[in-house]
Amino acid sequence: MRETRPLLLNSDFPAIARQRISSLQINLGYRCNLSCVHCHVNAGPTRTEEMSLATTQQVVALMDRLQPATLDLTGGAPEMNPHFRWLVEQARQRDIEVIDRCNLTILLEPGYEDLAEFMAAQGVVITASLPCYEEENVAEQRGQGVYADSIQALQLLNQLGYGVEEDLQLNLVYNPVGTNLPPPQEQLQSDYKRELQSRFGISFNSLFTITNMPISRFGAVLLSQDQYYPYMRMLRESFATENLDSVMCRELISIDWQGFVYDCDFNQMLDMPVLTSDRRVHIADLLDGHALDSAAIYTAEHCYGCTAGQGSSCSGALDG
């Protein structure tokens, strides 16, 4: 599989620095029950990397030290990590908001039948991937049968109060099919709410639109189809300076399954660790007092994906 990393590192993207750390984004491993075309993690059922209990315990210690507002759990399917529930409980006991980046179908997998009930009891915010309200587009990105399972999972979450009760937030994530920027988030959210409610009686809180990053599996597809350079040209030409103040890396750090620290999840997938040392920074260094506030952020060409058009972050459009 051809990689985009060598093409991305030589970049003139503007220099930016972190302002503060209010969110810890933790990648609990690359194992997933799906293998989505747009996945920037290259996750799948055959991946075996997952965060150990010892590293998960260090995450808890880091929460105590930094006191973040949010713990953002991702993967792969983060719920497949055996320590997922314990980590959620530890964060909620500290009154830290927990976001679960859920692919929805995991809620129906054998062995996970009570997962939705657990997250509802803990008040976890569920941010779930649903690339489109049309079955054909979902099948193109995520495979046959995923759409029906996703709808069933959303109905289950609604029955538990998600997207209905104020304290059970259910957000959906849209990724474009192919090489386009996402459409305006507010209008697309209205379309999603209308279609999902009229077809299936499904309610949710917000829709987040996220630009596909030219890395990992999607980057390889771009290269194989000779679309990498046109896609990057589009991202660069759509650059909006005002988005620089709102990119997620200004208030977030990303930690991989081994405990190493990155400026964002995308940098993690490109093996671009934080730039504050001549060696990789680990959770253990942060626990020993290593500071990342005001540190320069490691940028490259893919950062144009976060600043193109309306902007893009894990919480959707920057101007949404």
Distance CA 32, CA 10 (A): 31
Choose between 24 and 76: higher pLDDT. 24
The pLDDT of 237-264, averaged and rounded, is: 94
275: confidence class by pLDDT, cuts 50, 70, 90: confident
Which DSSP symbol is given to 45?
A: T
Residue 153 CA to residue 215 CA, distance in Å, equals 29
Q: Looking at the domain assignment, is residue 257 inside a domain?
A: yes
pLDDT-derived band of residue 160, with 50, 70 and 90 as boundaries? very high
Alpha-carbon torsion 262, 173, 221, 1, what sign?
A: positive
Both tokens assigned to 62:
């880091």
Rounded distance, CA 270 to CA 300, Å?
10
More confident residue, 8 or 77: 77
Weakest mean pLDDT among 34-43, 75-84, 139-148, 266-275: 34-43
Which is it for strands 97-102 and 70-74: parallel, antiparallel or unpaired?
A: parallel
In the chain, what is the straight-line distance between the N-terminal and C-terminal CA atoms, in Å? Answer: 35
Q: What is the identity of the amino acid at 98? A: V
How many residues are listed for the chain in this entry? Answer: 320
Q: Does residue 295 carry a pLDDT above 90?
A: no
In a domain, 312, yes or no: no
Residues whose CB is less than 8 angstroms from the CB of residue 17 and which lie 6 or more positions away in sequence, other chains included: 250, 294, 295, 296, 297
Query: What single-letter DSSP state applies at residue 297?
Result: P
Q: Of 105-114, 268-277, 291-300, give the range with the top mean pLDDT.
A: 105-114
Which of the four pLDDT bands, split at 50, 70 and 90, describes residue 42?
Answer: low
Can you give the pLDDT at residue 48? 87
CB 42, CB 30: distance < 8 Å: yes
Contact 87/118 with Cβ under 8 angstroms?
no
Residue for token digits 């990105």?
Answer: 141
Q: Return the percentage of the chain with pLDDT > 70, whole number.
A: 92
Q: What is the mean pLDDT of the chain?
A: 90
Judge whether 24 lies within some domain.
yes
- The answer to whether 156 touches 107, Cβ cutoff 8 Å, is yes
Model confidence band, residue 25 (pLDDT cutoffs 50, 70, 90): very high
Beta strands in the chain (DSSP E): 23-27, 70-74, 97-102, 125-129, 170-174, 206-209, 252-255, 261-262
- Looking at residue 1, its pLDDT comes to 44
- The answer to whether residue 144 sits within a structural domain is yes
CB 153 within 8 A of CB 108: yes
Q: What is the pLDDT of residue 33?
A: 82
How many domains does the chain contain in total? 1
CATH code of residue 87: 3.20.20.70
**Residue 320 domain-assigned (yes or no):** no
Average pLDDT over residues 161-169: 97
pLDDT at 193 over 50: yes
Cis omega (within 30 of 0) for bond into 76: yes
CA 60 from chain center: how many Å? 20
Pairing status of strand 261-262 against strand 23-27: unpaired
Which residues face 26 on adjacent strands? 73, 255
Range of the domain at 200: 5-307
Note whether residue 317 is domain-resident: no
Amino acid letter at 155?
Q
- Smallest Cα–Cα separation from 183: which of 248, 126, 131? 131
On whether residue 316 sits in a domain, the answer given is: no
Task: Give residue 107's pLDDT.
Answer: 96
Residue 139 identity (one-letter amino acid): A
Mean pLDDT of 60-74: 97
State the sign of the Cα–Cα–Cα–Cα dihedral 114, 254, 312, 122.
Answer: positive
Given a contact cutoff of 8 angstroms between Cβ atoms, the answer to whether 125 and 205 are in contact is: no
